[in-house]
Amino acid sequence: MDNLIERYVQEVTRRLPEKERAEVSRELKSNIYDMLPEHPDEESIKKVLNSLGSPAALAEKYRQNPRYLISPAYFDEYTRALKWVLPLVGVVVMAVGMLVGALEAMKGSVGSAQDIAFTISNIISKGVSMGVSAAFQALVWTTIGFAIADHAGKKSKDTKEHIWKVEDLPELQPNEKTRIPLSDGIAELVLTVVFSIIGILFCLGSFPFAMIIIHDQVQVAHIFSAEFLAALVPVIAVTAAFGIVSAVAKIKDCRWTPMVCTLHVLHKLVSMGLSVYMLTRPFIFSAEFTAFMKNFNMPEVWGFPWFGVNGMNPFLIFIVVMVVIGTLADCIKSIVLTVKDKK
C-alpha cells in the first residue's frame, strides 16, 4: 500500500526543480497520511490519491514559479518527443554531413600530413555543424508545434485529470546508481556513428591511414595492408549496427533493464570477437610500415619481432589481452547494475 503513495509522490516531485523535491516530498506524504484513516486499506489510499488529482496538475500547484511555454497537459509528451527527435535527427544529418564532406574530400588529393589533418577536420566539422543545426531546428519546430497545440486547446487540463487513474502510476524509479543518463545514450550514439564513418572512409581509401617517414623528405604511407582494410569494412559496419541498437535502447529506457543489458553485452561481445579475429589475421601491417619499423632494430620478445608482416607478435598479443579484459569487465559491470536495478 505504501508503494502506491511512494509512486504517486515520485510522479509529482520528478516534475519539480531538484532543490524543491525533498521538501515537497515530505509535505505531500504528510498530507496524504493525514487524509487517510488510522488503518488504511488499498481502496482508501486510491480514493485519497484520486482526490488529489493527476501528479502533473498537483506538481504545477507546488511549483514556485509556474511560468511555462508548454503546460503540464503537454509537457510529458513534449519531453518524450524531444528525447527521440533531437538525437535521431542530429545523428542522421551529421552522418549525411560527414559523407558529403568525404565526397568533397575525394575530389581533391591527399599527399601530406597537413592534408590528412585538414581533410579529417573538414569532414568532422561539416558533419557536426550540419547535425547541430538540424537538431536546433528540430528543437525549435517541435517546441512551436507543441506550443500551438497547447494554446489552441486541443487537449484540456480538465480532460487530462478526468482520465487519470491511480493504476496509471509507473513503478518506482531505480536507484540513481543504476540509472543511465540520457546524455550517455546520446553521446554513445553520436560517437558510434562518427567513428564508424571515419573508420570506413579510412578503409575505403578516401584518405590514407598513414605514418610519416622522414629522411630527406616527408612521405605518406599506409600502416595497414589493403587486404586487412578491405576485411575491416564489414567488421566496422556490423559493430556499428550493434552499437546503434544498444545506444537507442539506453536512450529509450534510461536505466539498466534486462533488455538494455542484453543488447549492451551482445554489442560488447560481438565487438570483442570481431576485434580479436581481425587482430589475429596475417598481413595486418603493410610492407612499407614493416620495413620502416625494422630500421629501428627493435629487440625481439619471446622470440618474436615486435612488428611483422605475418602472424602474431607481442604487440598484438598485448592489445588482444587488453581488449578481452576490458570487454569482460564492462559486461560484468553492466550485469551487476542490472541486478541492482531489479532489487
Residue 14 confidence (pLDDT) above 60 = yes
Averaged pLDDT for residues 291-306? 57
Cα–Cα distance for residue pair 320/37, rounded to 1 Å: 65
pLDDT in tens, 16-28: 777 778 888 888 8
Percentage of the residues of the chain whose pLDDT score is greater than 90: 15
Structural contact between residues 94 and 127, judged by C-beta atoms closer than 8 angstroms: yes
Q: What is the pLDDT of residue 269?
A: 95
Averaged pLDDT for residues 316-338? 90
Q: In the structure grid, which three cell numbers stand for residue 56, read together?
A: 502533473
Measured on CA atoms in the order 121, 122, 123, 124, is the torsion positive or negative?
Answer: positive
Within 8 A by CB and 6+ apart from 166, the residues are 4, 8, 46, 49, 50
* Cβ-based neighbour number of residue 34 at 10 Å: 8
Q: What is the pLDDT of residue 160?
A: 46
Look at residues 226, 229, 225 and name the one whose alpha carbon lies nearest to residue 290: 225
Structural contact between residues 4 and 166, judged by C-beta atoms closer than 8 angstroms: yes
Percentage of the residues of the chain whose pLDDT score is greater than 70: 73
Look at residues 111, 108, 293 and name the one whose alpha carbon lies nearest to residue 220: 111
> How high is the mean pLDDT of the chain?
78
pTM for the full model?
0.66
Q: In the structure grid, which three cell numbers stand for residue 136, read together?
A: 536546433
Look at residues 208, 243, 206 and name the one whose alpha carbon lies nearest to residue 222: 208
Structural contact between residues 328 and 276, judged by C-beta atoms closer than 8 angstroms: no
Mapping DSSP onto H, E and C, the string for the chain reads: CHHHHHHHHHHHHCCCCHHHHHHHHHHHHHHHHHHCCCCCCHHHHHHHHHHHCCHHHHHHHHCCCCCCCCCHHHHHHHHHHHHHHHHHHHHHHHHHHHHHHHHHHHHCCCCCHHHHHHHHHHHHHHHHHHHHHHHHHHHHHHHHHHHHHHHCCCCCHHHHHHHCCHHHCCCCCCCHHHECCHHHHHHHHHHHHHHHHHHHHHHCCCCCCEEEEECCCEEEEECECHHHHHHHHHHHHHHHHHHHHHHHHHHHHCECCHHHHHHHHHHHHHHHHHHHHHHCCCCCECHHHHHHHHCCCCCCECCECCCCCCCCCHHHHHHHHHHHHHHHHHHHHHHHHHHHHHC
Q: What backbone torsions phi and psi does residue 209 show, to the nearest 5 degrees?
A: -80, 105
pLDDT in tens, 211-246: 555 555 556 667 788 888 889 999 999 999 999 999
Q: Of 3-7, 207-211, 308-312, which gets the smallest average pLDDT? A: 308-312
Q: In the structure grid, which three cell numbers stand for residue 199, read together?
A: 573508420
Within 8 A by CB and 6+ apart from 238, the residues are 270, 274
Structural contact between residues 95 and 197, judged by C-beta atoms closer than 8 angstroms: yes
Between these two residues, 178 and 262, which has the higher pLDDT value? 262
pLDDT in tens, 64-82: 655 566 766 677 778 878 8
pLDDT band at 302 (very low <50, low <70, confident <90, very high): very low
pLDDT in tens, 163-209: 667 766 766 665 556 778 888 888 888 889 888 888 888 888 765 55
In total, the chain counts a number of residues equal to: 343
Domain ranges of the chain: 2-62, 76-169, 170-343
Cα–Cα distance for residue pair 187/250, rounded to 1 Å: 11
Between these two residues, 114 and 193, which has the higher pLDDT value? 193
pLDDT band at 267 (very low <50, low <70, confident <90, very high): very high
Write the CA distances from 147 to 27, 69, 114, integer angstroms.
32, 6, 49
Averaged pLDDT for residues 125-143? 87
Q: What is the pLDDT of residue 214?
A: 59
